[in-house]
């Protein structure tokens, strides 16, 4: 029912006051689980170490809504991605989250890759995706005229889409909070004192003690560390860094589909994809690291991306770069999610959620709640969730600055503050007054696109900061 960022946590010491379920980690997966739990008359907490939702791997991914065509057939991931993809597409429509079903082309650049395409089509079919189709070099050229020389053919994968990755976890969290979930931000869990029969778990956090009957680990890169707090040592998370380059919206006309590489022995490779914000993405790299905080880009990584981008789409490199970022995915050494229920501990770990986590999130939420029920959580009757409608950040539908009626009703939507991204004062005001307000300028950017554009604050940075400070005072 509330969002807290500071101060002592609500008192859960009385026998009846403990939370029924606490989800630790407010990334896209944790938020989806909390939202799913909000369907029931349960006392639920969503606890997050950082100051905002979606601050970890969730904010820095490739923003693709997968069909799951290339998952390992029969794996849990394959099933949850397939189901979750459909669920998220429907949810996005209902919640106003931008999705563009641009489709994907798996482009073959040599004979070996060309020979691999039928196998990939077969794999897709085994994953329930029967719509793939081989594309000749000539057709490929016609569909992607700016492609570099040497492409031999492709596999058409309809249904692959791009999605707004920022609004998705935010929509889940907003809906969860409006439906009664307590979201505690800046609330790192430092210790866990597991409970016993009839005795709740005690989470020792930076902001005090929180008692809960059931516990869900949705800690992403720190899932193994959290497991250790409750005495489990089932897997190790190896952060795998992906660096990405975002090109200026002028590059958007150069590419019509998600251009996927043919996966080879060296990994999944580098893709080029449009974004719903109207940019073009190039990436990611794949670097296994030890440091779970190493979200920096490197000169080598950027040089490698540019070299590959130049081959795939030569004209892309003539366009300006808008942003560079790096995200870490939670690799665990197996080609599947690491989801484990421990009924004796009233504990579920949702670990090893890799780059497909955004797509699978809603299915992960449902799956986790099923596991909790199996572990003894009494759900009771389902009730409808509070409705949520997110501000549209996508370029495929009209934005407020283009909406004459809206501006006539409220001139703040006609006052453009961030000119590159055309973000209005009305949108910034709304974000600051929203259910889960931003805690930082970066958080404001993920809610409005303010400062995300080509000038990176040259023109609007000072004004956006002033509005943010005024609005959060």
Partner 1 sequence: MNRTVDVLVVGGGPAGLAAAARLAAAGAGRVEVLEREEAAGGAPRHCGRAGFGPYTGPEYARRAVAEAVRAGAVVRTGAGATGWAGALGGALPLGPGRGQPGAGDGAVRERTTEGPLAGPAGGHRPPTTERRGTARGATGPAGPAGPAGHPLVLEVTAPTGLERITARAVVLATGARERPRSARLVPGSRPAGVLSTGELQQSVELFGLRGERIGRRAVVVGSEPVARHAVGTLRRAGVAVVAVVSDRADGPRLPCPVLRGATVRELVGRGRLSGVVVRAADGRAGLLRCDTVVFTGDWLPDHELARSGGVPLDAATRGPSVDPALRTRVPGVFAAGNLLRGVEPAVVAAAEGRAVASAVLAHLAGAAWPDPGPALLPAGSLRWVTPGRLSPSGASGPAPVLSLRPATRLVHPTLTVTQDDRLLHRQRIPAFLAPHRSLRHPATWAGAADPAGGAVTVRLEAGRTESRGGSRGGRGS
Residues binding partner 1 (CB under 8 A): 145-146, 246, 249-250, 252-256, 278, 293, 295-299, 301-302, 315, 318, 320-325, 395-399, 401-402, 404, 407-408, 411-412, 414-416, 419-420, 422, 440-442, 454-459, 461-463, 465-466
Smallest gap from Cβ 426 to partner 1, in A, equals: 10
Give the C-alpha separation, 225 to 243, whole Å.
24
Taking the C-alpha atoms of residue 473 and residue 466, their distance in angstroms, rounded to an integer, is 11
Minimum distance from residue 324 beta carbon to partner 1 (Å): 5
Q: How far is the CB of 148 from partner 1 (least distance, A)?
A: 12
Give the residue with the Cβ less far from partner 1, 193 or 306.
306
**C-beta of 40 vs 222, nearer to partner 1:** 222
- Residue identified by tokens 């793939």 is 132
| Beta strand spans in 127-283 (E) | 133-136, 153-157, 161-163, 182-184, 189-193, 201-205, 208-217, 238-247, 258-261, 271-274, 280-283
Residues contacting residue 265 through CB under 8 Å, at least 6 positions apart: none
CB closer to partner 1, 366 vs 399? 399
Report, in Å, the least distance between residue 250 CB and partner 1: 6
CB of 182 to partner 1, least distance (A): 25
Structure-token match 């029912």, residue found: 1
Of 334 and 456, the one with the shorter C-beta distance to partner 1 is: 456
Nearest one of 40, 27, 32, 76 to 373, comparing CA atoms: 40
Q: Closest approach of Cβ 319 to partner 1, in Å?
A: 9
Q: Which is nearer to partner 1, 340 or 412 (CB)?
A: 412
Q: How far apart are CA 368 and CA 356, in angstroms?
A: 16
Strand partners, 274: 280
Q: Are 202 and 213 in contact (CB under 8 A)?
A: no
Of the two residues 316 and 345, which places its CB atom closer to partner 1 in the complex? Answer: 316
Alpha-carbon Rg for the chain in angstroms: 22
Nearer Cβ to partner 1, position 147 or 371? 147
The Cα 449–Cα 166 span in angstroms is 10
Question: Is the C-alpha dihedral spanning 19, 183, 82, 152 positive or negative?
Answer: negative
Of residues 212 and 285, the one with the C-beta less far from partner 1 = 285
Closest distance between partner 1 and the C-beta of residue 440, in Å?
Answer: 8
Nearest distance in Å: CB 403, partner 1: 8
Give yes or no for a contact between 214 and 230, defined as CB atoms under 8 angstroms apart: no
What 8-state DSSP symbol labels residue 36?
H
- C-alpha 106/C-alpha 114 separation (Å) is 10
DSSP-derived 3-state class of residue 378? coil
3-state secondary structure of 441: helix
- Output 305 or 353, the one with its CB closest to partner 1: 305
**CB of 462 vs partner 1, minimal distance in Å:** 4
What angle in degrees, to the nearest 10, is found between the helix axes of 357-374 and 76-95?
Answer: 110
């Amino acid at each position: 029912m509330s969002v807290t960022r500071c101060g002592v946590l609500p008192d859960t010491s009385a026998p009846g006051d403990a939370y029924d379920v606490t989800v630790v980690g407010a990334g896209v997966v944790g938020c989806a689980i909390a939202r799913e739990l909000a369907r029931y008359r349960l006392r639920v907490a969503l606890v997050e170490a950082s100051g905002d939702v979606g601050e970890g791997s969730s904010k820095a991914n490739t923003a693709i809504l997968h069909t799951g065509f290339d998952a390992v057939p029969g794996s849990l991931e394959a099933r949850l991605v397939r189901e979750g993809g459909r669920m998220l597409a429907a949810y996005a429509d209902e919640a106003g989250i931008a999705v563009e079903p641009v489709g994907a082309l798996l482009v073959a650049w040599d004979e070996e890759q060309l020979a691999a395409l039928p196998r990939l089509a077969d794999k897709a079919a085994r994953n329930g995706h029967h719509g793939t189709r081989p594309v000749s070099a000539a057709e490929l050229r016609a569909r992607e005229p700016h492609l570099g020389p040497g492409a031999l053919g492709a596999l058409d994968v309809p249904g692959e889409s791009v999605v707004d990755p920022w609004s998705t976890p935010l929509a889940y969290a907003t809906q969860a909070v409006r439906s009664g979930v307590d979201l505690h931000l800046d609330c790192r869990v430092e210790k866990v004192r597991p409970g016993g029969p009839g005795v709740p778990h005690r989470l020792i956090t930076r902001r005090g003690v929180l008692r809960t009957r059931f516990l869900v680990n949705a800690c992403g890169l720190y899932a193994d560390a959290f497991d250790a707090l409750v005495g489990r040592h089932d897997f190790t998370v190896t952060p795998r860094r992906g660096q990405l380059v975002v090109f200026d919206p002028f590059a958007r006309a150069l590419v019509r589909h998600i251009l996927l590489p043919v996966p080879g022995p060296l990994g999944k490779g580098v893709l080029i994809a449009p974004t719903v914000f109207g940019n073009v993405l190039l990436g990611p790299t794949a670097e296994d690291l030890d440091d779970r905080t190493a979200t920096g880009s490197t000169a080598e990584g950027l040089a490698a991306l540019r070299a590959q981008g130049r081959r795939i789409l030569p004209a892309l490199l003539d366009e300006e770069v808008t942003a560079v970022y790096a995200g870490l995915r939670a690799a665990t050494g197996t080609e599947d999610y690491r989801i484990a229920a421990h009924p004796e501990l009233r504990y579920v770990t949702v670990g090893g959620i890799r780059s497909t986590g955004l797509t699978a999130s809603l299915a992960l939420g449902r799956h986790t709640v099923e596991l909790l029920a199996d572990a003894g959580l009494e759900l009771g009757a389902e009730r409808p969730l509070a409705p949520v409608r997110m501000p549209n950040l996508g370029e495929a539908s009209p934005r407020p600055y283009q909406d004459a009626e809206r501006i006539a009703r409220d001139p703040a939507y006609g006052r453009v503050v961030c000119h590159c991204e055309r973000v209005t004062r009305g949108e910034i005001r709304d974000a600051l007054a929203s259910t889960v307000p931003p805690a930082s300028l970066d958080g404001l950017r993920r809610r409005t696109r303010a400062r995300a554009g080509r000038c990176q604050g040259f023109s609007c940075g000072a004004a956006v900061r002033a509005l943010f400070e005024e609005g959060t005072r």
